[in-house]
């Protein structure tokens, strides 16, 4: 958020909020009471005593409402939505958007673009005579990698859990070696005729 100075020299945002206001809203969203949020943001005791009037200010209440809506929206984003977005990028078939004219020249036809194509395109640029269109798409490989990680196909972390210590493993290994030597000396091993 960008801040500017008002006529009295106070820092305010484009929405008429000063940095203290944005801090108070931040603390309120994090779970503080209205008065507690104002105290943490650096308001004086006299200002905190007028908390109800402060929170009713249009600029403060609008910013609070905007942030609460954003927080609610972020809670509604599910893993399935994220997977679906990555899948659209990874599996979009651009061949469906290319048409060949009578002269044999390939041309983009975005009239056939579906939701998957639209999600995978990051931009286009028209240039030159005759006009040519350069289409930029989002990185398909990155989307595939992200999908594979979400689905657990990559094992980035190996779980090493157990109760055996290094010393216990060393003793067990030495015991196996000693047993192998004893078996070799007595002839009780496999492979005898």
For the stretch 86-108, pLDDT in tens is 888 888 777 787 888 888 888 77
Q: Identify the domain boundary among 76, 92, 110.
A: 76
> What is the C-alpha separation between 149 and 80, in angstroms, rounded?
14
In a domain, residue 163? The reply is no
In a domain, residue 183? The reply is no
3-state secondary structure of 127: strand
- For 102-132, write each residue's pLDDT tens digit: 888 887 777 777 777 777 776 666 665 555 5
Predicted TM-score (pTM) of the model is 0.39
Q: Are 8 and 15 in contact (CB under 8 A)?
A: no
Range of the domain at 34: 3-76
Q: Is a pLDDT exceeding 60 seen at residue 2? A: no
In a domain, residue 52? The reply is yes
Q: Are 120 and 92 in contact (CB under 8 A)?
A: yes
How many domains does the chain divide into?
Answer: 2
User: Residues 68, 104: one domain?
Assistant: no
User: Residues 23, 43: one domain?
Assistant: yes
Q: Are 62 and 15 in contact (CB under 8 A)?
A: yes
- For 10-45, write each residue's pLDDT tens digit: 555 555 677 888 889 889 888 889 899 999 999 999
């Amino acid at each position: 958020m960008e801040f500017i100075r008002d006529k009295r020299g106070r820092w305010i945002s484009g929405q008429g909020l000063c940095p203290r206001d944005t801090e108070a809203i931040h603390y309120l969203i994090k779970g503080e009471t209205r008065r507690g949020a104002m105290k943490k943001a650096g308001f004086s005791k006299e200002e905190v005593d007028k908390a109800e009037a402060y929170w009713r200010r249009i600029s403060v209440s609008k910013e609070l409402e905007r942030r609460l809506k954003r927080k609610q929206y972020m809670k509604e984003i599910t893993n399935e939505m994220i997977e679906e977005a990555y899948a659209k990028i990874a599996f979009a078939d651009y061949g469906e958007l290319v048409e060949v004219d009578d002269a044999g020249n390939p041309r983009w036809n975005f009239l056939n673009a579906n939701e998957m194509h639209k999600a995978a395109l990051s931009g286009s640029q028209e240039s030159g005579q005759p006009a040519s269109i350069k289409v930029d798409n989002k990185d398909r490989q990155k989307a595939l990698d992200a999908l594979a990680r979400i689905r657990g196909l990559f094992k980035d972390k190996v779980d090493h859990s157990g109760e055996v210590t290094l010393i216990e493993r060393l003793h067990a290994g030495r015991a196996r070696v000693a047993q192998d030597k004893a078996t070799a000396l007595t002839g009780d091993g496999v492979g005898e005729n």
